[in-house]
Amino acid sequence: MTAATFDVLVIGAGPVGENVADRVVQGGLTVAIIESELVGGECSYWACMPTKALLRDAAALRAVRQLPGAAAAVTGTLDVNAVLTRRDQFASNWSDDGQVDWLNSAGITLVRGHGRISGPRTVTATAADGTVTTLTARHAVVVATGSSAALPAISGLTDVQPWTSREAASARTIPGRLAIIGGGVVGTEMATAYSALGSTVTLIARNGILPNVEPYAAGYVVESLTDSGVRVLAGASPTLVARDANGSVHVTLDDGTVIDADELLVATGRKPNTDDLGLDEIGLPAGAWLSVDDTLRVTDASGNPVGDGWLYALGDVNRRALLTHQGKYQARAAGSVIVARALGTAVDDTPWGQHTATADERAVPQVIFTDPEIATVGHTVASAAKAGLRVRSVEYNLGAVAGAALHADGYAGRASLLINEETNTVVGFTAVGPDVAELTHAATIAIAGEVPLDRLWHAVPAYPTISEIWLRLLETAAR
């Protein structure tokens, strides 16, 4: 057993852990980061990067086919092996050498092993060979262990060894038939990707397709999936799963229908990676999501900081927003506040202050890379009502904008704004259509900046671009 002391300890070397560690080092503190898998985490190897690489070639091909001159130059179909090879490159061929080099260059100490809290400001790291290192933090311990796929209670499910998002992101071959349980972001994106790569896909969605976005946006995706040959079973519920001697999977639904597939992907939600984290050592339940205050300190059941405030939780484990970019945003705020508290300088924990993660509640952006794409920021009609906001919604046909018509023949899409009636500011934005991802940041700025509509009139969109949708939405709102 060895021992070492640092100013800050970070458990988990994904994007969130890397960012908070870097922020702490830039503030003049020492930091060690503990990782049991690959440095770079889920996003780099089994989520954001490889899945978007799987989707990109098909999206580019669809874009070309919507322009007659370009379409005339296209022959053949997708080269699946080339798509998978490019995917592998974006996953660094599942090697973290480059990420480790970056840690070294940033002055961050890497400790390989499973990190477990063993007392106040103390973490025990157990390496694969059994070597144990006891690490002590002078100021803070940060939990950034992320989340993993949660499997629902379906009879026989674990016995068939289903795919989760990890297997879908890293598959070496494309199954002839793929069944997907779950109609959320992972389910719809992988249905889009695998149908384009040659699988016959059945999407089983007990709670509907993309239930957390505006219904009109989800409707565009359902129509597109259906047109591309995906069998969409919204409202269906699996009751039994089995794999036969030939390797085929059979999914029995609640109405008796049986879906046959070569592989089964389960994409029904996430659970926090806190099972064996040592939470019980500090009076918190093992396996639970971690509650935090706006400066990301872990709080107990009464809402008070654990201990004297030395424990922080960032990214998926605090369940504020299960998105890589929001976790990195939290890391920047937490890294800065850890340094401020360590050095005894002022802490700005007011809304939108330097040391708070206010955007988690008011201005979360997300892009769903289905065909068509969905871009959202802030509230939907449903979430605004739940939050008690008095809002009105305005919508506009995105295909009627000159830039969209130029972008693709037959461009189909829609966009909407949610306007807070009391403040006359935008609190929600949704767009669905080809390549709407790049509209996201304008909406993020408008919402995070709480820009009044009277001032937004002076933010003139360039012509002819798809961003002219902002003018059309404002005109609609004025009427």
Helix, strand, or coil here: 179?
strand
Instruction: For residue 220, give both structure tokens.
Output: 């565009």
Angle, helices 185-196 vs 48-65, to 10°: value is: 50
Instruction: For residue 58, give both structure tokens.
Output: 């098909």
Q: What is the pLDDT of residues 1-20, one digit of tens each?
A: 699 999 999 999 999 999 99
- Where does the pLDDT of residue 398 fall: very low under 50, low under 70, confident under 90, or very high at 90 and above? very high
Q: How far is CA 117 from CA 15, 41, 139, 268, 274, in A?
A: 21, 20, 14, 29, 11
Instruction: Work out the angle at residue 49's Cα, subtended by the Cα atoms of residues 356 and 223, and round it to the nearest 5 degrees.
Output: 95
Q: What is the pLDDT of residues 195-217, one digit of tens each?
A: 999 999 999 999 999 999 999 99
User: Whose CA is closest to 375, among 265, 166, 228, 220?
Assistant: 220
Q: β-strand 258-261 against 122-126: which pairing, if any? A: unpaired
Tell me what percent of the residues of the chain surpass a pLDDT of 90.
Answer: 98
Q: What is the spatial distance between Cα 126 and Cα 276, in angstroms, rounded to a whole number?
A: 12
* Cα maximum dimension of the chain: 71
Average pLDDT over residues 19-44: 97
Q: What is the spatial distance between Cα 433 and Cα 412, in angstroms, rounded to a whole number?
A: 6
Q: Is the pLDDT of residue 292 over 90?
A: yes
Residue with token string 């219904």 = 215
Average pLDDT over residues 298-303: 93
Q: What is the pLDDT of residues 94-109, one digit of tens each?
A: 999 999 999 999 999 9
E strand or H helix at 334, and its extent? helix 324-343
- In one-letter notation, the amino acid at residue 29 is L
Average pLDDT of the residues of the chain: 97
E strand or H helix at 391, and its extent? strand 391-397
Question: What pLDDT, on the 0 to 100 scale, is given for residue 76?
Answer: 87
- Where does the pLDDT of residue 282 fall: very low under 50, low under 70, confident under 90, or very high at 90 and above? very high
- Where does the pLDDT of residue 54 fall: very low under 50, low under 70, confident under 90, or very high at 90 and above? very high
- In one-letter notation, the amino acid at residue 66 is Q
Torsion angle defined by CA atoms of residues 470, 472, 474 and 477, in that order, rounded to the nearest 10 degrees: -140
Question: What pLDDT, on the 0 to 100 scale, is given for residue 406?
Answer: 96
Q: What is the spatial distance between Cα 368 and Cα 185, in angstroms, rounded to a whole number?
A: 6
Q: Are 83 and 60 within 8 A, CB to CB?
A: no
Residue with token string 């989520």 = 47
- Where does the pLDDT of residue 153 fall: very low under 50, low under 70, confident under 90, or very high at 90 and above? very high
Q: How far is CA 154 from CA 166, 181, 341, in A?
A: 20, 11, 47
Q: Are 78 and 196 within 8 A, CB to CB?
A: yes
Average pLDDT over residues 450-459: 96
Q: Is the pTM of this model over 0.75?
A: yes
Q: What is the spatial distance between Cα 143 and Cα 287, in angstroms, rounded to a whole number?
A: 13
E strand or H helix at 445, and its extent? helix 440-448
Which residues fall within 8 angstroms of residue 385, CB to CB, at 6 or more apart? 391
Q: What is the spatial distance between Cα 51 and Cα 189, in angstroms, rounded to a whole number?
A: 8
Question: What pLDDT, on the 0 to 100 scale, is given for residue 216?
Answer: 98
Q: β-strand 109-112 against 425-433: which pairing, if any? A: unpaired
Question: What pLDDT, on the 0 to 100 scale, is given for residue 479?
Answer: 87
